[in-house]
């Protein structure tokens, strides 16, 4: 019967339990997983890209109003969150290195700290959102943004309708980013469970690598969101 | 080595934050975006291991994506930037 | 059960169809061939749903008065026709059915790179499809398939959010299929299958997948923005609140223009395979055809605002996009030239797949050339939003993409089902489709040129004759589409068992059994020959000299 002569496995290398049958060898499977995740990240870039396009167009049109709106969100919290994510990216690469070098405790510790940093990020986000809610800057029926001066033009007030557009984009962009963060936490929780069970070895730790790629991407999106949203026109 | 990149990223964040409070006119945005791009490159090249990748394919994927994102942004601006009415 | 066939198949061998039976073995399969058939069934269902709406539209347009349905209902009819046909038929069609089935086999692989993601793609398509069906059955949408703002966000009372989410979900199906194909084509080619030996069908699907990956997310985010704006009454696209309706159009068309290349590129790939086989010749200018596929994908992203020439974009932007739209026609023209050159001095056989391919070349050329009419600003001002545009895109999507799909279904049917379809009926159906198609859509060019606007359910008396011709043609066309459905089904039980390579065609897929086994190849193929080696396949057998097979 054909089964035993099926494809490529010349059996010089061991048939790793994680090797899926339609791949010729583990290297092909690893390379496919990696390419697959990179292409998925491309789609995510374009997904956020539409929002960046909308944002840049309106920022150019309503620069003053956007500046006024941006000044009302906390740049300090935004910068802190940026630092938090940068630290989490560090712990992610440490986790990958730990998996590559069979350092189980470092691997689990790094995964845990990554998740804690992610939760910290979401917590700070939550504080920001609460502030906006209390100030009636959440777009919708209860939105108000009256008598807020445009930075650099103290005699002019920002147009509330235009400021509402800023906040719409602010919430949608950071909200979508936070959603991706939550999904990332879910992925890392799963990685943590697998790592705890000892499923990762130097020969097989692809899920950590591609999970890491996803996390770094979420970090990169924030690296752009922070200056664009928080730092429009801050000089006194 | 990772720690070096990490430190550079934190430094970049600090500089971006501080620079935002300086009076640079239209260069405020440019400075912030340039630093952001450098940070993104550091993450992509070193944390996401594009630098050490053995085939050019990954770089091609990233460059094509960035290319088409720029097409979206720039060709839209071709419209918005040349409208002669308010 | 005849013994008079040219090949002996006395006992049915195990293949992907009979390996396991039962609904669960199909619903939980990861075999790319079974998934392709799941798609075939669901896509056919949506094709007939979309066709049903088309029928109602053409019935209404038999008479100048709006007397069959009310205006609001008519708006829903053309909207649902467009949404169903674009998102649930044309975009998936060839990649999800023929691509899924053939890509692994053509490159010598056992399956796609991510078989479970492939199954997920189908489930996402089904979920999106069910959401769209529910939306249609509970009132539908009346904005046109293009759901422009601010009508769709602030004024219409129909179920935009639900329809949008249905398209969002189906969009992810498309993205994942594209992702799967790109990784598969890069990573899973058999030894010796270099890029320049790939069938051009693969190049076409590679280019299509790039568009699916990069373009679809943009309409996804656009749908999210529309849904949020509609629900929370924001002003991102509403001019009264400071928003710009044109921003929606930019974001929408950034995907939806490349989307039309998603629809046509795979069809071009099919036509290339068919022409090589039925002219018994290598494709003329292989590299040109391969790179033109990539060029179409790239250029396709640069032209979207030609849908917005009269919407209010700046004249300078319009000039740029008009110029780029002329450029995008060049790679398509290169393909037509290469097909023609392939046919020259070929040994041409007029089997049904070839009839569809011929139909494709003629009708796509008309559609493509009329696209150039529309790309010219001066002409576009007059014929935009008229039946001229409708005729243009139906020539490409129906005369082009759908003909290619049907031709491909016929060409690979023996491989997919292990049965031969009845050739005479197939040729008749191809002819009926061609005649019906032209009768339906050619009058619409004239109607548009004379000034009949699109999306109108009543029209001046002087347009009636052309409209009646168009509806008559639609009836004929409908018959032409029903026929293959009937004889394909018939052939599954009563058709002659097919040999492994009934057309003596080149390509690795023909070296598998008909139908193939679950893992396609008994041994991993090692490729040492160039694509389309018809000169070797047709050469008289010399004693002892192996044919490159």
Q: What's the confidence (pLDDT) of residue C527?
A: 93
CB contact under 8 A, B13 and A57: no
Q: Which of B32, B43, B61 sits opposite A39 (nearest CB)?
A: B61
Q: Hey, what are B48's tokens?
A: 């996401």
The partner residue sitting opposite A161, judged by closest CB among C183, C220, C242, is C242
Please give the pLDDT value at position C2.
46
pLDDT digits (tens, 9 = 90+) for A8-53: 334 434 556 677 888 888 899 999 999 999 999 999 999 999 999 9
Q: Is the pLDDT of residue C543 over 70?
A: no
A109, pLDDT greater than 60:
yes
Closest-CA residue of chain C to B77: C317
The token pair that represents C432 in the structure block: 């009926």
What is d(CA A151, CA C167) in angstroms, rounded to the nearest whole number?
42
Residues 88-107 of A with CB under 8 A from C: none
Q: Which residue of B has its CA nearest to C182?
A: B61
Chain C residue with minimal CA distance to A57?
Answer: C247
Distance from CA of C81 to the nearest CA of B (A): 29
pLDDT interval class at A2 (50, 70, 90) = very low
Mean pLDDT, chain C, rounded, equals 94
Domain chopping of chain B, boundaries: 1-52, 54-86
pLDDT-wise least confident of A218-222, A230-234, B31-35, C451-455: A230-234
- A75 touching B (Cβ < 8 Å): yes
Percent of chain C's residues with pLDDT above 90:
91
Question: Testing the interface with C: which of A9, A57, A64, A168 to mutate, by most C Cβ within 10 A?
Answer: A168
> How far apart, in Å, are the Cα atoms of A164 and each of A136, A140, A144, A156, C136?
10, 8, 8, 17, 34
Residues of chain A contacting B72 with CB distance shorter than 8 Å:
46, 49-50, 53
Section C421-442 average pLDDT: 97
For chain C, the structural domain boundaries read 30-538
Interface of A with B in 136-165 (CB under 8 A): none
Q: Distance between CA atoms of C319 and C324, rounded to whole angstroms? A: 9
Convert the pLDDT of each residue in B65-75 to its tens digit: 999 999 999 99
Burial (CB < 10 A; 0-12, 13-18, 19+), residue A17, is: exposed
Instruction: Enumerate residues 6+ apart whose C-beta is below 8 A from A14.
Output: none
Cα gap C211→A42, rounded to integer Å: 12
CA atoms within 13 A on the CB side of C214: 28
Residue from B12, B17, B42, B51 whose CB has the most chain A CBs within 10 Å, to mutate: B17
What mean pLDDT is predicted for residues C278-301?
Answer: 96
Residues of A numbered 40-69 whose beta carbons fall under 8 angstroms of chain B's beta carbons: which are they?
41-42, 45-46, 49-50, 52-53, 56-57, 60-61
Domains of chain A in sequence order: 46-230 (1.20.120.80)
Residue-level pLDDT at A151: 87
Tell me the chain A residues in contact with residue C187 when contact means C-beta distances shorter than 8 Å. 28, 31-32, 35
Q: Are C473 and C438 in contact (CB under 8 A)?
A: yes
Residue C266 has pLDDT above 70, yes or no: yes
Whether the per-residue pLDDT at A118 is higher than 50: the answer is yes
Q: Is A32–C183 a contact, with Cβ atoms under 8 angstroms apart?
A: yes
* Residue in this structure with the two tokens 């966000």, named with its chain if needed: C153
Checking if the pLDDT of C14 tops 90, the result is no
CA dist C359 to C325, C331, C333, C373, C540, Å? 25, 20, 16, 21, 32
In angstroms, the separation between the Cα of residue C251 and the nearest Cα of chain B is: 8
Residue B26 confidence (pLDDT): 77
Q: Please answer yes or no on whether A168 and C236 come within 8 Å at the CB atom.
A: yes
Q: Is the Cβ of B71 closer than 8 Å to some Cβ of chain C?
A: yes
Q: What is the mean pLDDT of residues A63-86?
A: 93
| Token reading at C1 | 């059960």
Give the model's pLDDT for residue A168: 95
Q: Which residues of B touch C321 (CB under 8 A)?
A: 75
pLDDT tops 50 at residue C1:
no
Q: Do C113 and A32 make contact, defined as CB atoms within 8 angstroms?
A: yes
Q: Which residue of A has its CA nearest to B22?
A: A235
| Residue A3, pLDDT score | 37
Q: Which residue of A has its CA nearest to C243?
A: A165
Which residue from B71, B76, B79 is facing C302, i.e. has the nearest CB? B71
Nearest to C317 among B65, B72, B79 (CB): B79
Interface check for A1 against chain C (CB to CB < 8 A): the answer is no
Two tokens, residue C289: 């055809």
Show the tokens assigned to A26.
């583990």
Q: What percentage of chain A exceeds 70 in pLDDT?
A: 92
pLDDT tens digits, one per residue of C129-169: 999 999 999 999 999 999 999 999 999 999 999 999 999 99
Give the 3-state secondary structure of residue B77: helix
Residue B75: closest CA among C526, C320, C43: C320
What confidence score (pLDDT) does residue C6 get? 57
Closest in B22, B36, B68 to A46, CB measured: B68
Using the predicted structure, report yes or no on whether residue C99 has a pLDDT greater than 80. yes
pLDDT in tens, C39-93: 999 999 999 999 999 999 999 999 999 889 999 999 999 999 999 999 999 999 9
Q: What's the mean pLDDT in C206-220? A: 97
Q: What's the pLDDT tens digit per position in B9-62?
A: 999 999 999 888 888 777 888 889 999 999 999 999 999 989 888 888 999 999
3-state secondary structure of C112: coil
Mutate to test the interface with B, among A27, A38, A41 (most CBs of B within 10 A): A38
Please tell me the predicted confidence (pLDDT) of residue B27.
Answer: 82
Neighbours of chain A (3+ CB pairs under 8 A): B, C
Question: Does position C3 have pLDDT exceeding 80, yes or no?
Answer: no
- pTM, entire model: 0.93
What pLDDT digit, counting tens, does each position of A184-206 carry? 999 999 999 999 999 999 989 99
The beta-carbon contacts of C51-55 under 8 Å, at least 24 apart in sequence, are C51/C478, C51/C481, C53/C77, C53/C78, C53/C80, C53/C81, C53/C84, C54/C81, C54/C85, C54/C474, C55/C474, C55/C478
- Whether the per-residue pLDDT at C549 is higher than 50: the answer is no
Distance CA C291, CA B3 (A): 44
Residue A6: its pLDDT value, please?
A: 37
Given an 8 Å threshold on Cβ–Cβ distance, is B3 in contact with A35? no
- For the ranges A37-41, A138-142, C10-14, the maximum mean pLDDT occurs at A37-41
The pLDDT of residue A152 is above 70? yes
Give the per-residue pLDDT at A15.
56
* Nearest-by-Cβ selection for B48 from A49, A216, A230: A216
The phi and psi torsions of A149 (rounded to 5 degrees) equal -70, 150
Q: What percent of chain C has pLDDT over 70?
A: 96
Smallest CA-to-CA distance from A208 within A221, A194, A229 is with: A194
Task: Determine phi and psi for C497, rounding to 5 degrees.
Answer: -60, 140
DSSP-derived pairing of the beta strands A153-157 and A149-150: antiparallel
Helical segments of C301-351, H only:
315-343
- According to the model, what pLDDT value does residue C544 have? 61
| CA–CA separation, C470 and C268 (whole Å) | 27
Judge: C233–A140 Cβ closer than 8 Å, yes or no.
Answer: yes
| Cβ neighbour number for residue A122 with a 10 Å cutoff | 16
Q: Which chain A residue has its CA at the smallest distance from C209's CA?
A: A39
**What does the pLDDT average to over C389-398?**
97
Hey, what CATH topology would domain C30-538 get? Answer: Cytochrome C Oxidase; Chain A (1.20.210)
A139 neighbourhood in chain C, CB within 8 Å: 232, 234
pLDDT at residue C370 above 70? yes
The pLDDT-based confidence of A59 (bands split at 50, 70, 90) is very high
The CA distance from A225 to C18, in Å, is 54
C316 CA: distance to closest CA in chain A (Å): 17
pLDDT at residue B84, as a whole number:
82
- B75 and C313 within 8 Å at the Cβ level: the answer is no
- Mark which residues 22-81 of B lie under 8 Å from A by CB: 22-24, 28-29, 32-33, 35-36, 39-40, 43-44, 47-48, 57-58, 61-62, 64-66, 68-69, 72-73, 76-77, 80
**Nearest-angstrom CA–CA distance, C442 and A106:** 70
């Amino acid at each position: 019967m054909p089964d035993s002569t099926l494809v490529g496995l010349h059996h010089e290398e061991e048939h790793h339990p994680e090797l899926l049958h339609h791949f010729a060898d583990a290297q092909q499977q690893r390379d496919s997983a990696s390419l697959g995740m990179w292409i998925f990240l491309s789609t995510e870039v374009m997904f956020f890209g539409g929002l960046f396009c909308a944002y840049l167009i309106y920022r150019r049109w309503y620069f003053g109003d956007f500046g006024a709106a941006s000044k009302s969100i906390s740049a300090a919290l935004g910068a802190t969150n940026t630092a938090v994510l940068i630290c989490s990216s560090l712990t992610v690469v440490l986790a990958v290195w730990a998996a590559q070098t069979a350092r189980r405790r470092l691997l689990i510790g790094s995964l845990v700290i990554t998740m804690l940093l992610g939760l910290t990020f979401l917590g700070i986000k939550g504080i920001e959102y609460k502030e906006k809610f209390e100030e009636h800057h959440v777009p919708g029926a209860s939105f108000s943004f009256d008598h807020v001066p445009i930075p650099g033009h103290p005699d002019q007030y920002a147009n509330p309708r235009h400021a509402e557009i800023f906040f719409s984009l602010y919430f949608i962009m950071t909200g979508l980013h936070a959603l991706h963060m939550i999904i990332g936490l879910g992925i890392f929780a799963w990685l943590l469970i697998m790592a705890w069970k000892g499923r990762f070895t130097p020969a097989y730790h692809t899920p950590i690598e591609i999970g890491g790629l996803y996390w770094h991407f979420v970090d990169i999106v924030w690296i752009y969101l922070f200056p664009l949203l928080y730092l429009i026109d801050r000089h006194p | 080595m990772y720690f070096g990149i990490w430190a550079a990223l934190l430094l970049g964040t600090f500089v971006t934050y501080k620079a935002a409070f300086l009076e640079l006119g239209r260069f405020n945005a440019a400075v912030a975006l340039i630093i952001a791009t450098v940070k993104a490159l550091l993450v992509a090249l070193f944390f996401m291991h594009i630098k050490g990748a053995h085939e050019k394919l990954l770089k091609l994927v990233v460059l094509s994506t960035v290319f088409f994102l720029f097409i979206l942004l720039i060709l839209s601006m071709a419209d918005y930037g040349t409208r002669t009415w308010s | 059960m005849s013994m008079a066939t040219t090949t002996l198949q006395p006992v049915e061998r195990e293949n992907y169809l009979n390996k396991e039976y039962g609904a669960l073995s199909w619903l939980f399969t990861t075999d790319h061939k079974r998934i392709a058939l799941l798609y075939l069934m669901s896509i056919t269902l949506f094709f007939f749903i979309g066709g049903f709406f088309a029928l109602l539209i053409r019935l209404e347009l038999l008479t100048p008065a709006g007397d069959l349905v009310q205006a609001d209902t008519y708006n829903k009819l053309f909207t649902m026709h467009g949404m169903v046909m674009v998102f649930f038929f044309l975009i998936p069609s060839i990649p999800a059915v023929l691509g899924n089935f053939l890509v692994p086999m053509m490159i010598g692989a056992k399956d796609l790179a991510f078989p479970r993601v492939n199954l997920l793609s189908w489930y996402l398509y089904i979920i999106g499809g069910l959401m769209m069906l529910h939306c249609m059955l509970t009132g539908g949408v009346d904005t046109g398939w293009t759901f422009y703002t601010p009508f769709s966000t602030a004024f219409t009372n129909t179920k935009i959010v639900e329809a949008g989410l249905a398209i969002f979900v189906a969009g992810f199906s498309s993205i994942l299929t594209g992702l799967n194909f790109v990784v598969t084509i890069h990573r899973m080619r058999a030894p010796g299958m270099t890029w320049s030996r790939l069938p051009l069908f693969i190049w076409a699907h590679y280019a299509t997948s790039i568009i699916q990956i990069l373009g679809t997310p943009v309409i996804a985010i656009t749908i999210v923005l529309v849904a949020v704006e509609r629900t929370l009454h924001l002003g991102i696209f509403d001019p009264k609140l400071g928003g710009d309706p044109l921003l929606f159009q930019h974001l929408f068309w950034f995907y939806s223009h490349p989307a039309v290349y998603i629809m046509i590129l795979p069809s071009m790939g099919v036509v290339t395979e068919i022409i090589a086989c039925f002219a018994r010749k290598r494709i003329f200018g292989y590299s040109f055809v391969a790179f033109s596929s990539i060029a179409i994908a790239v250029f396709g992203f640069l032209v979207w605002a030609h849908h917005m020439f009269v919407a209010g974009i700046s004249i300078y932007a319009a000039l740029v996009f008009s110029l780029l739209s002329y450029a995008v026609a060049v790679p398509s023209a290169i393909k037509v030239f290469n097909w023609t050159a392939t046919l020259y001095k070929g040994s041409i056989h007029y089997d049904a797949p070839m009839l569809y391919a011929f139909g494709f070349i003629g009708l796509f050329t008309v559609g493509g050339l009329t696209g150039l009419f529309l790309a010219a600003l001066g002409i576009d001002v007059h014929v935009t939003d008229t039946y001229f545009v409708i005729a243009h895109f139906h020539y490409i999507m129906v005369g082009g993409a759908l003909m290619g799909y049907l031709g491909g279904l016929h060409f690979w049917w023996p491989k997919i089902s292990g049965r031969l379809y009845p050739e005479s009926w197939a040729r008749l159906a191809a002819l009926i489709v061609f005649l019906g198609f032209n009768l339906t859509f050619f009058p619409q060019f004239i109607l548009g040129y004379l000034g009949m606007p699109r999306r109108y359910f009543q029209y001046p008396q002087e347009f009636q004759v052309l409209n009646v011709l168009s509806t008559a043609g639609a009836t004929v066309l409908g018959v032409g589409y029903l026929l293959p459905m009937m004889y394909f089904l018939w052939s599954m039980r009563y058709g002659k068992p097919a040999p492994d390579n009934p057309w003596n065609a080149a390509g690795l897929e023909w070296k598998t059994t008909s139908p193939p086994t679950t893992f396609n190849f008994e041994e991993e193929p090692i490729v040492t020959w160039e694509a389309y080696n018809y000169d070797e396949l047709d050469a008289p057998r010399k004693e002892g000299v192996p044919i490159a097979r």
